[in-house]
Structure formats: structure tokens, C-alpha cells
Structure 1
Amino acid sequence: RYISESVVLGFMAGASCLIALGQLGNLFGLRDQGSGHQHVLLRVWLTFAQGGPVNVYALGIGLGTIFLVVALGGFRKAYRLPQMEMLVTLIFASLIAALFAWSVPGANGKTLVAVIGNVPAGLPAPHIPAIKFWWVKDLSSSAVAIAFLGLLEALAIAKSIANQTRQSLDYNRQCLAEGLANLAGGFFQCLPGSGSLTRSAINFQSGAVSRASGVFAAVTVAIVVLSLAPLARYVPKAALAGLLFVTAAKLVDWRRLRLALRASRYDAGLIFITAFSALFISVEFSILIGVALSIVLFVPRAARLRCSELVVTTEGVVRERLADDPVCDALILYDLEGEMFFGAAPELDRYFNELKERALGKAIHVIVVRLKRTRNPDMVCLERLEHFIEDLKTKRIMVLLCGIRPDLGKAMKNMGFSDWLSPEQVFPEEDDKDSATIKAVRRAYELLERNDCEHCKRKGLQEAGQDKLYYLV
């Protein structure tokens, strides 16, 4: 849940570009150049620079595959037919290539268009892996990194598909399933695996609606490998490239991408940086970069505290002060709202300094601070609150705290506030009928030795106990 939607959209956009770029050579019938250790962009450049001339037969098959998949998809939607356009197109393209002998080896043993080639007609044999306890030290750090990146990638893919199907995700089950799958794969000499972006997208675009589709696809692949391997070798790579181009285009939720880019610069920045990281750094690390960046950008936003002044109106209503409301010279009533963690400490200091200056400048002796809407207090901000109260106490200014929620009250108790702060200065959170804010305001007027505020005199609030007060949320 900590992978933001903007990171997922950027990841999918970058990954779809990589899928398309990786298939350009097959689409144009060029010989792949470079090694798997090189970046995909470098391999694409080497393929076009050194991969030979464009193969018009392969290009024709690839473009024809793209056109046929799109056309059959529209036809299928119009008549509500089963989603089989990709399978039908692949079989048709393979038959055309075989019919014109483009995928059949000639006298020189070569084909006019590149084909998949020999497919091993067998499944991996069970294998008991060797276990040596001293490997834990050597392999644990790499294993944790692989597992973490694999989970991030799988969850990003699952979240992207779930956004299109509007299904709810069980992240714990997803993590458990991936762990069990890798454990089982270890007994068949498998490499560490994660959710496959390409295969997941093709599975979804082919009409998959449940987890059983993955099992069905695996069984189908096993049957094809065992019984149709000699025929599968004649499938043109250009046809597969065409299918992957269509898959890459459908991989991105273009509507949500447009909305996210328009929503805010924060979302747009995350999308561009994540997509850029996928293209130029690594598709696996792009998620990690996007998540880290979203956290870095979120902390300053979460650290924004809102401080608003409250007033008591002539009708006895306690509400937020408007621009044309007169300023009370008898007491100060403020409401704090937001996260009270270390990131908000500088802003909290600024608000407290402003309150000190105003109280000292107007000889105000009582300040009421409402903390009902503050969340997640930590030691740093509670220390700032302690220093604020103690500094004003030395200047004979009383601070009343109201709307103290249970979590804040517990944190204050753990910090030792009860050792030096009088219970009469603390008003715990209550229901609307017995508002802690109203009780604090009444107590503030009781503490005033003199009330020379004309604003308050007009309301007749000198005898606070005889006046009804109402709190306006």
C-alpha cells in the first residue's frame, strides 16, 4: 500500500516502453546484438547499427500481426466474442509464414524470417538443492535484495491490473504466494522469480479473470512443450514481437495516466522520474527509486501543521476567527491540526514563537491551545510543547491544553508531563455536548484577574459561569 499510484503508472509506462524497444529488432527482422548484461537501449542501438538490413518479410509479418490483433479485438468487442484474438493471430501468422516457406529452412539451413527455434520437449526434473549453513552469511544480503525487489515488482504489476479490474488486493497473500512459488521452484533448479510483467499483461488482456488463469496457462505451456514442441519452433519472432507491441500499448492505463499528470506536479514528477528510472537505470530499481522519492516528497507535506485562531462570538459560539472579527485582548485561543512528529517541529516552533510574541506584546495571561486534531505525537514535538508551556510559565502566562486525545494523553504521561503540569491545565477530549474546548474557555475566563477587553465586555462574558457557550465544529 506504500507504493503510490503515480509510481505504479510511471513503472508501467517505463516498462511498456522497454518491452516495445526490446522487440524492435525482431519486428524489423534484425539480428540481435549485444549481451544480456548490457542496457536495453545500448542493445537496441547495436542491433540497428550492426544487425544487418531490414527484413521486409519479418516487418510485414510484424505489422500484419499488430493490425490483425487490433482488428479482431474490435470485432470481438462488437459481437461479444471470447478473447482469443492473440492466439488466433499467432496461429494465423505462423501458418502464413509456413505456407510461403518463410519459416521453413532452405537449402542453406536458414529461414527467411527468424523463428523461435528448437523448444526442449521436456520439463525440469526434480532436484534436491544442496544446503550449507555457511552460505547464509554469503547469500543472505543478496537473497533479501532479490526478494524485496521481486515483491515490489510483483505488487506493482498486481496493483496496476487491480486498478483496471477494480478488484481488492490481499498483499499478504500475494507475498506468501510468491514466497511459496520460489520455494517450490528451488526443487526444480529454477532461478528466483517474480511476477512477469509481459506474461501478466498478456494473461489479463486474453481474458483472465481469476487466479486459476495462471494455473491454466502453466498447464497449457506444459502440454505445448511436451506435445507440440516440434511445431512451436516455426513461430516467427516477428509475430511475437507484434503481439508484444500490442501488449505494451495496452499495458498503460492511458486515462489514469492523463488524470495523474493533470492532478498535481507531485504526481507528474513521480511518474516522470519512475518512468525515466525504468528506461535509463533499471526496471527493477525504478520501483525502489519511485517509492523512496514518494516518501521523501511526502514527509514535508505531512509535516505541515495548520494553526488557526478561534474566537468567542457575541452569541457565545466558539469558532474559527474570520478576517472581520475583532481581536480579543483578554486571551488567545488557537487550534493546531496535523502530524506532530519530528518533521513538524520547525513549524511548531514558529507557531509557538508567534503566540509568545503576541501574548507578551498585549499582556495576555491565558492561552488556550486546542490539540484535538493533532496526530502521531513524538518526543521531539512534545519537548517543544513542554518548553513552550514552561517558558510562558516563567512569564506568568498560563497555558491550557484542551481536546487531548487518548494517544496524546498517554504520550504526555510517558514524557512526564503529569509531574509538573497541573491537571487543571489539561482538558481531555469529550463529546460535543461537554466540549473540552468550551470547558477550557470557561476556565480561561475564570483565571483572568482583569478583563479590559471591550470586545469581551460587549458579550458580557466576565461572569463566565453564567453564560452559555457553544462550540462550532
Structure 2
Amino acid sequence: MSSLTLSKYIPIVETIREYKKEYVSKDLIAALTVAVVAIPQCMAYALIAGVNPVYGLYTGIVSTILGSIFGSSNQLVTGPTNAICLLVAGSMRNYMGLENAYQLLFLMTFLVGFFQIIFGVIRLGKVINFVSHTVIVGFTAGAGVLIALGQLNTILSISIKNSANMSTMEKLYYVITHLSQTNLYALGLGLMTIAIILICKRINKNLPGALIGITVPIIFIIFFALEKKGVKLTGAIPSSLPPFKMVQFSLGSMQNMFSGAFAIAVIGLVEAISIAKSIASTSRQKIDANQEFIGQGIANIGGSFFQCFPASGSFTRSAINYHNGAISRFSGILSGVAVALVLVFFAPYAKYIPSPCLAGVLILTGYNLIDQKEIRKVVKVGKLKSDSIAMWVTCIATILLPNLDYAIYTGIALSIALYLKDTNKVPVKILIPTQGKESQIIEQEITTVKEKVDILIIQLEGNLYFGSASDLEEKLDGLVDKSKVFILRMKYVSAIDLTSLNALKVFVRMVREAGGILIISGVKSDLSSMLENSNLVSDIDVENIFMSENEIFASSNNALARARAVLNCETSAIAKKSAACAILDSESTFKGLNTSSF
């Protein structure tokens, strides 16, 4: 395998080849900054997924390193994310009480990576565009609500039996009906964390507010022995690197994990590609979506053997990485190494971290997920527009449906359905040639044809596909007896399928039966073969079809010249010439100007 091919599939090879000494300090500073933010985030996000915080740290090590090695982006940081962890919690809710719960979790991680690699290998990078941006806005807003509500029992220190098997709404109801059990010490520590994070953000956005917010309360825990007063702590975390453990495969388990894994794979890729492209728009790096698919897949498959749950691109950590001067993918690798070093040398101190403080971090995270600016932008475009409907339905479905993967599928299906509804109308312009200034022929656009005319120009636009064929047929049917000569302009038709071609054939036949003539102009070369293969050419006659030409208005001029011949303008007596012939004779050059009659 050549070095060029190797660097294509293993991007870090090219990074090593082109790396410079001056990059080291910038990548290292960015990596350490990311690690400071990643440690509390990874632990907190593990709680969203419903697992021990140590698995969040494992994911923040293995997935981050593998994602940076094999991904396309230089600055994207892979690891635990809030939305993915929420999907994991929803998919695993019915299994967390089982003895093999963690085996199923790591199997799900493997399946997520498997799907993502398959998507990359068969080059489905562009298919991700079918997941509407507003679906993601709606999902993340709903996820933010669920994350914040889901941490209320922890910040209030209200114990709920079998909470892993309960939906967020069920836990919320339990909390509301048991508010008397609130531990004020726990609530105070949680609010302290929230206040510290907000103050740090106000002072300097680069301050590690989350890390400070969970570290300061530890002082109060130790000095006032708050653990004895009912404040729950994170507990012991093993001070070792992620251990290798074989994934347990079975057909039944794979069937159980299939739907959740597929939804997580799709959303994970949407997150990763969106973040990578957002950074690339500033860094000017070219992103290969298919390679990023493979990179994310390898990160998850590799992580599944080291007790990691599904990971994706993190917006927060990636933005911090880029804005702190990261040059290459080594910054992501070094941030994973830094988390590993902290786990090995400082894990014993993590047991003092109060759970209410991590809940405070997550409540703020959930609030920040609700992109109010973007929501207002979507609503401003139109409350009943497709984008707005897809956003709100996805948001509500995320909050109310028992399985979050169903909410994702609902949003995607709805956005596609609404798109098809919006595109099943064919833009058809009805134009008639008329006399302009200086004897020029101009076009006048009209809404309806009340009386029969000599020449009618029908301008079709856009993609004529099966979904819009019925609308096309209906609009053409209403014009059959409205003119002697029809000029069907197809210059602005981008594509056409057989269903729409059949609608045109029906129109041709009806015009001929009514004694009219149909002329087609502006036919592009790629559409010409389709017209021939569908026998439309033989129905019209070759002399009535004019190809699109480089010279502006050339096809339209030729079509009008043909219309002039069809109407016998040459042989007609001057006194008996129709208005159309008079116009066509007035100027041989077509100017193509549009004026509206409405």
C-alpha cells in the first residue's frame, strides 16, 4: 500500500509527515485545556447514560484518541456527548437492571461503530443531509429539557427506587410528589456549582467553570462532613487505564440493541459532521464526510472493547480545542492521554465529588442545549412552515415518547414527508409574446388564459419527478384548447423522470387531437436521450424540438421562428395576418424580457 493510500485511510500518517516543531506547544496547550473540561463532562455525561462515571472517563480516553487518529477533522474531539448519552439511557432503560446490562451496553457501542463504518465504506456521506437541521434543533432542545429534568432528583437528593427503569416524566412526577424529602445540603451544593459556573463564564469564558464548580464544594464536604448529612458522593473510581474486555455477541442481544444502535449511529454522525464542517468553515480544512464516518465508527468499535459507551463529536470540547490554538489531530490525542493520566494518578480523589454538583453541571448543560436563537430563527420564518413543524414535533416527541430513537425516526420521516409535500408542485409559468418598445418581442406572464391565442409559451422549471407528475398533468390539461401553437420551454428543467415524461406525452397527444402544434425548446443534452427513449420525439417530430444552445435566447428564437412557419406568417396576406404573426414579423431577435400582468 502506497503512503498516499495509507494517509487517505489513516489520516494521521499525513499529519506525522507534515508535522512541524512549532505545532507542539499549540497542540499541547489546546489538549490540556480540553482535558480540564472533558474530565467533569465525561463523568457527568456518564450519569445521563445511567452508568458509573468511570465509563465516561474510559470513553473520554479511548474514543477520543481513536477518533482523532482516523477521523477527517484536525480539531474534532470525539467522546461522550449529552445527546448521545440521553439516547443510550433511553435504549438501555429496560436492561440496566439485568446482570448482563453492561455487556449489552458495550455490544451497542460495537453496533454503533459497525453501522458508521458501513455508512462510510458505501459512501453515504451526502445522505446525512436528509436529516433536517431543524430536526436536530428540535431533538437537542427536547434532550436539553430531559437532561435538566432528569437531574432534579439528584440535585435534591431524593432517592428513587428502580429509577433506571423509569422515564424522565415518571421521575419528575415522583420528585414533585416527594419534595418534602429534599436534602437542603445537597441542593445548596448543587446551586453552588451552578453559581460558580455562571460566575466563571461571566469573568472569562476560558475559565474551566465546570471543573472549579465541582472542586470547590469538595472543601465543604470534607470540613463539614456533609456525607454524613445525606449528601451523596460519586464514590470510588478505579485508578487504572481502560481494561480490555471482549464484547459478548449473541443474535438475541444484537436484535435488542439494533434499533437504538442505528438511531445513535445516525445522530452521532450528524453531530460529528456538523461540528467538523462548522470548524472547517473557519479553519478552511476540507472535510471528507465518508472518512469521518469511518473514523467515528473505528472510535466506537475500538471503544467497545475497552468498556466505552457510544461516542460522537463534542461541540463544546471541539470548539475549545480549536479556539485554544489546536493545529493538528495530535491535540485530540493528547487530550485523551491527559485524561488517562488524571485517571491513573488522581482517581482516588474523585470519590469526594458530590453527585448534586455533577447534577448542577448537567442542568446547566441541558439549559444550554436549548438553542433559543436558532429556535426563534425557525419560528420567524413561519410557524406553520415545514421546518417549524418538524422542529416542534421532534422536540415534543423527544420529551414524551418512551424511546428516543423513535423520536429521531419520527422527526426524520416527518421532515422528508413535508419536503415531498412542498416539492409536489411544479413551477409553471404561462407566457405570451407581445410587442415591446422598439419593435422588440417581449414576454408577458399571465395567470390564466381566458380566450384562445395563437402562441402560448409554457415554461417548466425545477425537478420533474413522480411526486409532482400529477400536478404537472393537471396544469397542462387546463391549457390544451387555449392556443394554436404551444412552445414548451424546458431550459430550466433540471431533471425529469418517466412518470413526468408520460404526463408530457399525454399533453402532446391531447394538443394534437385538438388540432394544435407543440414545439419544445431549450432541451438540454442530458434530457435529449430520455425524450428519444420515451418516444416523445416521434410524437412531436424532430423539427419541433430545439436543443439548448450556448447563445443566449437562441433556442427561444428558433422556437418562435418555427411557430411563425406553423402559423403561415410568410404566405398570409398582410391584411389577414394575425396579431401573433404581426408580432413575430416585427423583430427577428427575441429579447426575452419578462413583465408581469399581476
Q: Secondary structure at the match of 1:321?
A: strand
2:493 pairs, out of 364, 374, 377, with 374
Q: What amino acid is aligned across from residue 287 of structure 1 in structure 2?
A: I
Contact 1:319 1:471 in 2 (8 A): yes
Change (3 A) 1:113 1:214: farther
Letter in 2 for 1:88: I
Quote the sequence identity (%): 25
Give the counterpart of 2:398 among 278, 288, 302. 278
Larger Rg: 1
Gaps of 5+ in 1: none
Cα deviation for residue 374 of structure 1 reads 1.8
Q: Which residue is equivalent to 1:195?
A: 312
Query: Residues 394 and 411 of structure 2 are in contact (CA less than 8 Å); yes or no, is this contact kept in structure 1?
Result: yes
Per the TM alignment, residue 51 of structure 1 is displaced from its structure 2 partner at its CA by 8.1
* Aligned alpha-carbon RMSD (Å): 3.1
Partner of 1:112: 230
State whether structure 2 residue 357 is matched by structure 1 residue 239.
yes
CA deviation digits over 1:126-181, x for unaligned, max 9? 245577xxx6x767766764553122221343366568755586432331112111
For 1:401, which of 509, 520, 525 is the aligned residue?
A: 520
TM-score normalized with structure 1 length: 0.84
Residues 1:341 and 2:465 aligned together: yes
399, 414, 420: which is aligned to 1:293? 414
Q: Which residue of 430, 435, 448 maps to 1:309?
A: 430
- SS of the aligned residue for 2:299 comes to helix
- Once residues 561 and 255 of structure 2 are traced to their aligned partners in structure 1, the CA distance between those partners, rounded to angstroms, is 61
1:255-288 Cα deviation digits (max 9, x unpaired): 1221111112222211111111111113333222
CA distance in 2, matches of 1:296, 1:42: 32
Q: Equivalences for 1:70-469 in 2 at 5 Å?
A: 70-77=198-205, 82-103=206-227, 106=228, 112-128=230-246, 145-158=259-272, 161=275, 170-188=288-306, 190=308, 193-195=310-312, 200=314, 203=317, 209=323, 214-264=332-382, 265-266=384-385, 267-281=387-401, 282-314=403-435, 315-321=439-445, 329-359=453-483, 364=484, 366-433=485-552, 435-449=554-568, 455-456=579-580, 458-459=582-583, 461=584, 463=585, 467-469=588-590
Match of 2:165 in 1: 37
Partner Cα separation in structure 2 for residue 286 and residue 143 of structure 1: 16
Higher RCO (CA 8 Å, separation ≥ 6 residues): 2
Contact between 2:553 and 2:591, CA under 8 Å: does it hold in 1?
no
Compared with structure 1, are the counterparts of its residues 128 and 69 closer, same or farther at alpha carbon in structure 2 (3 Å cutoff)? closer
Match of 2:301, SS? helix
* Aligned partners of 2:425 and 2:472 also within 8 Å: no
Please report how far the alpha carbon of residue 17 of structure 1 lies from its aligned counterpart in structure 2 after TM superposition.
0.7
Q: Do 1:94 and 1:235's aligned partners in 2 also have CA atoms closer than 8 Å?
A: yes
Alignment of 1:44-83 (within 5 A): 44-49=172-177, 53-77=181-205, 82-83=206-207
Local SS of the residue matching 1:309: strand
Deviation (angstroms), 1:206: 5.7
Kindly indicate whether residue 149 of structure 2 is the aligned counterpart of residue 21 of structure 1. Answer: yes
Report the Cα offset of residue 323 of structure 1.
Answer: 7.7
| Contact 1:262/1:268, CA 8 A, preserved across alignment | no
- Structure 1 letter corresponding to 2:389: G
Question: What CA distance in whole angstroms lies between the structure 2 residues aligned with 1:417 and 1:50?
Answer: 75
In the superposition, the TM-score normalised over structure 2's length comes to 0.68
| Native 8 Å contact 1:61 1:239 kept in 2 | yes
Higher normalized helix content (fraction of residues): 2
Distance 1:416 1:324, change over 3 A: closer
Q: How far is 1:354 from its partner?
A: 1.2
